Chains A and B, each alone.
Chain A
Amino acid sequence: DAKTTQPNSMESNEEEPVHLPCNHSTISGTDYIHWYRQLPSQGPEYVIHGLTSNVNNRMASLAIAEDRKSSTLILHRATLRDAAVYYCILRAFNNNNDMRFGAGTRLTVKP
């Protein structure tokens, strides 16, 4: 399985943008990049996913490098409720719903 590398932790100030990086240098051409986050005392929740083009949804934006070896999850205005562990996961085109989580990035948001 292709692996992802993320910083262990990051800090942000409330209402400022946050850029969470993920390296996946061994990504294959058919791997999708997914992001999930886990709030304290909860199960993970889906954030966003993409293949090649940048993606936006109500929660975040996903910027994918042209060579697809890295990606960045962007939270446009961090709130205290965004404090969580963020996981970057690669899923194959025909993935059967088994996701391989790394250690993730623990985001702390300061008021």
Chain B
Amino acid sequence: KAGVTQTPRYLIKTRGQQVTLSCSPISGHRSVSWYQQTPGQGLQFLFEYFSETQRNKGNFPGRFSGRQFSNSRSEMNVSTLELGDSALYLCASGGLAASPGGSEQFFGPGTRLTVL
């Protein structure tokens, strides 16, 4: 089974620009979660999509948005980039919560975004 893929792997943008990151989950998985990882704040939950609907949202400004398509692929968008948005953006895919306490999450390798 192919793993979670994220594109692009590396990206350099300048302040004020916008960026779109893509995540393809494991085949059959309907949940996609996004996380931001920085040295200062660690891993922080951004949002989760399930069957094209946003189910949960973390504490991030409205500049961060996302969507999920009918094939479960997901994109996240960051508008008006700031220097502090430089981070590793990770997505995770999960199947149905077949067991209580949440299904196992499978993470992609991440997209390294640098904002200059």
The verdict on A103 contacting chain B, using a C-beta distance below 8 Å, is yes
Which A residues touch B47, using CB under 8 A? 98
- Which listed residue, A34, A51, A96, touches B50 by the CB 8 Å rule? A96
B61 at the interface (CB under 8 A from A): no
- How many residues of B are in contact with the other chain, CB < 8 A? 29
Interface SS of A by simple majority: loop
Query: Which of A13-21, A38-46, A58-66, A73-81 lies on the face that meets chain B?
Result: A38-46
Is residue A83 contacting chain B, with contact meaning CB distance below 8 A? no
Taking a contact as CB atoms under 8 Å apart, the answer to whether A45 and B107 are in contact is yes
The digit string for A78-111, where 1 denotes a CB below 8 A from any CB of B, is 0000000001000111111111111110000000
Residues of B within 8 A of A45 (CB): 106-107
CB contact between A92 and one of B42, B101, B106 (< 8 Å): that residue: B101
| Distance from A9 Cβ to chain B, minimum over Cβ atoms (Å) | 14
Within 8 A of A (CB), among B13-42: 31, 33, 35, 42
Residues of B within 8 A of A91 (CB): 101-102
A residues with CB within 8 A of B: 31-32, 34, 36, 42-46, 49, 51, 87, 91-104
Q: Is the CB of A97 within 8 A of B94?
A: yes
Contact yes or no, B48 A44, CB < 8 A: no
A32 to B103, CA, bound (A): 11
List residues of chain A with CB within 8 A of the CB of B110.
43
Q: Are A93 and B105 in contact (CB under 8 A)?
A: no
Residues in A neighbouring B35, C-beta threshold 8 A: 101
Given contacts A96-B56, A100-B45, 7 further A-B contacts (CB under 8 A): A43-B108, A49-B101, A92-B101, A93-B101, A96-B55, A97-B50, A97-B56
Q: How far is the CA of A42 from the CA of B102 in the complex (A)?
A: 22
CB distance from A90 to the nearest CB of B (A): 9
Residue contact A98 to B101, C-beta cutoff 8 Å: no
With known contacts A96-B55, A98-B33, A46–B104 Cβ distance under 8 A: yes
